[in-house]
Every structure is written in structure tokens, then in C-alpha cells.
């Protein structure tokens, strides 16, 4: 009976060790964002999965939960004035079930406002495919952001 318990314990440990290392793919995104709206927007490129602690890919939520001793995790975003275009090429590591997400916020929100704004009239999320993406931001008649590809 003791051998059976020992064998079961060894299998549990071995299974947990195998499950800890999820394979990643390195993916590059070539992004162009045209702001055709009458207001500035704030664009943040982040992930909807892991690995989560990759520098330059933190969401506002991840940044807000970062302990002070781990300052390398920052929100990487850009303000795009009306009528202007921003471009970036960014490479990251992704689990098979995770994707790059472009978050577009209306205006230039503070960190508190970023955290308080979910998807809706003032925030749009766009899932990105690897490679080249061109996004155009327009204002719909109801002052909500409208994102087209």
C-alpha cells in the first residue's frame, strides 16, 4: 500500500512539472493605426493570455498589480492626435491560446481611468493577427469609437 501511495505521489509531481512549461511561439506584429476621429485616442498593445510578464506587453491591470520591486513591467501605449497615424512593429512570445490585443481608448486617460474603462463607448479591443494590420479609427454618429480594418 505504501508503494502505491509513493507511486501516486510521484505521478502527481511529474504531471505538475510537465504542465508548468507551456510552449510559446514568437510572433511579430506590424501595426499601423490611422486616427480619423475628431479626438485624440490612446492605443495600448497587450495580450489576452501568456506569458504575462513579458516587458512591453503589460495591460493596465497587470501594471497596477505590479509590486514596486518589479519596475520593468510598464504599460506601453501611445497617444494619437486627430488626423494622425502611428506605426509600430512589436515581437512577443505567445502561448498557443493567447493573442495580441489592441486597446483603443478615447482621449488620454489616466491609469485610474484606464482601469475603470471596460469595453464600450470609450474603449474598443481589437484582436490582431500576426503580420501586418492597418486599423482606422472613426467616430460613429453617437460619439462612440468605431474601429475598422
Q: Could you read off the pLDDT of 28-51 as tens digits, one per residue?
A: 999 999 999 998 999 999 988 877
Contact 100, 127 (CB under 8 A): yes
pLDDT above 60 for 9: no
Asked whether residue 1 is domain-assigned, the answer is no
CATH number at residue 55: 2.60.40
DSSP state of 30: E
**In which band, very low, low, confident or very high, does the pLDDT at 11 lie, cut at 50, 70 and 90?**
very low
Asked whether residue 116 is domain-assigned, the answer is yes
**In which band, very low, low, confident or very high, does the pLDDT at 113 lie, cut at 50, 70 and 90?**
confident
pLDDT of 73 reads: 53
Question: Does 40 sit behind a cis peptide bond, omega within 30 degrees of 0 on the bond before it?
Answer: no
Q: Using one digit for the tens of pLDDT, what is the confidence trace for 55-68?
A: 788 788 877 777 76
List own/partner pairs for 126-129 with CB under 8 A and 24 or more apart: 126/101, 126/102, 127/48, 127/99, 127/100, 127/101, 128/29, 128/31, 128/45, 128/99, 128/100, 128/101, 128/102
pLDDT of 71 reads: 58
pLDDT of 18 reads: 46
Asked whether residue 16 is domain-assigned, the answer is no
Print the domain residue range for 45.
Answer: 23-148
Average confidence (pLDDT) over 123-129: 91
Asked whether residue 30 is domain-assigned, the answer is yes
Asked whether residue 9 is domain-assigned, the answer is no
Asked whether residue 2 is domain-assigned, the answer is no
pLDDT of 85 reads: 96
Domain count, the chain: 1
Asked whether residue 121 is domain-assigned, the answer is yes
Asked whether residue 59 is domain-assigned, the answer is yes
Q: Using one digit for the tens of pLDDT, what is the confidence trace for 81-94?
A: 999 999 999 999 99
pLDDT above 60 for 22: yes
Q: Which residues face 142 on adjacent strands?
A: none
pLDDT of 109 reads: 85
Q: Give the whole-angstrom CA distance, residue 30 versus residue 143.
A: 28
Amino acid at each position: 500500500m505504501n508503494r502505491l501511495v509513493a507511486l501516486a505521489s510521484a505521478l502527481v509531481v511529474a504531471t505538475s512539472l510537465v504542465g508548468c512549461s507551456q510552449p510559446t511561439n514568437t510572433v511579430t506584429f506590424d501595426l499601423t493605426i490611422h486616427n480619423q476621429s475628431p479626438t485624440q485616442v490612446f492605443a495600448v498593445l497587450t495580450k489576452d493570455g501568456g506569458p504575462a510578464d513579458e516587458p512591453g506587453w503589460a495591460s493596465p491591470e497587470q501594471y497596477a498589480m505590479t509590486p514596486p520591486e518589479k519596475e520593468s513591467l510598464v504599460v506601453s501605449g501611445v497617444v494619437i492626435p486627430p488626423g494622425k497615424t502611428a506605426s509600430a512593429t512589436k515581437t512577443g512570445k505567445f502561448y498557443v491560446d493567447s493573442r495580441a490585443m489592441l486597446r483603443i481608448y478615447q482621449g488620454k486617460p489616466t491609469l485610474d481611468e484606464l482601469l475603470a474603462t471596460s469595453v464600450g463607448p470609450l474603449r474598443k479591443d481589437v484582436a490582431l493577427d500576426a503580420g501586418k494590420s492597418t486599423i482606422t479609427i472613426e467616430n460613429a454618429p453617437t460619439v462612440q469609437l468605431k474601429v475598422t480594418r
